[in-house]
Amino acid sequence: MTAKPIPVITIDGPTASGKGTVAHRVADRLSFHYLDSGALYRLTALAALEQGIALDDEHALAELARGLPCRFQAQSVLLAGRDVSEAIRAEQVGNAASRIAVLPALRRALVGLQLSFRQAPGLVADGRDMGTVIFPDADLKVFLTASVEARAQRRYKQLIDKGISASMDDLLKDLKERDARDSNRAVAPLKPAEGAYLLDTSEMTADRAVEQVLGWYAEAGKLAQ
């Protein structure tokens, strides 16, 4: 008898759409593992910035990614044993991550690492190509989005709450530029996976979004029986 594949839920979407919060809560509710694939690109970007590696040096970045000494521990992200949970969320690092994410060699270098997170009892993976490229056989695929204005407002509140000054105009410009880069890149462009459920959270709380995803997962389980 063939072993049943370890279940996977993918939640893809643009920057600041709330996918990380929703994915993390869904994973907690199901007692599944959690993969923040965007953190891997941010970790690579942070390491590159710290080591002085040019953001257009595709070969060097791929080599860096292949040996990336990172791990996820509870709510923390560790790089070479150092807690960089806050550092990887800096706007400079986010912009750098978006720039290097278009490089094919870097994306290939991170595929194996992402696949290794698929462990029992299950996985919730969030990112931009989880359902289209990394886990095309996922049990449930969700494409979560929100208007650019709603996303900018969320990012603004996050930064202000952390005591970081921010400009709404700059955030809107930044998000629009990232959306364009992510949607138009040649490799694994940001788009809904085939068969994905679309969820617009512009006027939806995270709790409602989590319940919707869990409801879809329950329905998918019934259909698979």
Q: Is 127 annotated as a binding residue?
A: no
109 is in an annotated binding site: no
Is 21 annotated to bind a ligand? Reply is yes
- Angle at the Cα of 33 from the Cα atoms of 6 and 47, rounded to 5 degrees: 120
195 is known to lie in a ligand binding site: no
CB atoms within 10 A of CB 190: 23
Annotated binding-site residue? 147: no
Check the annotation: does 14 bind a ligand: yes
User: Does the annotation place 19 within a ligand binding site?
Assistant: yes
Q: Could you give the CA distance from residue 162 to residue 197 in angstroms, rounded to a whole number?
A: 33
Query: Would you say 145 is a known binding-site residue?
Result: no
State the Rg of the chain over Cα. 17
- The set of residues, in sequence order, having a beta carbon less than 8 Å from that of 138 and lying 6+ positions away, is 8, 9, 10, 125, 130, 131, 193
Q: Is 157 annotated as a binding residue?
A: no
Helix and strand counts by DSSP (H, E) for the chain:
8, 8
As annotated, the binding site includes: 13-21
Binding residues for ATP: 13-21
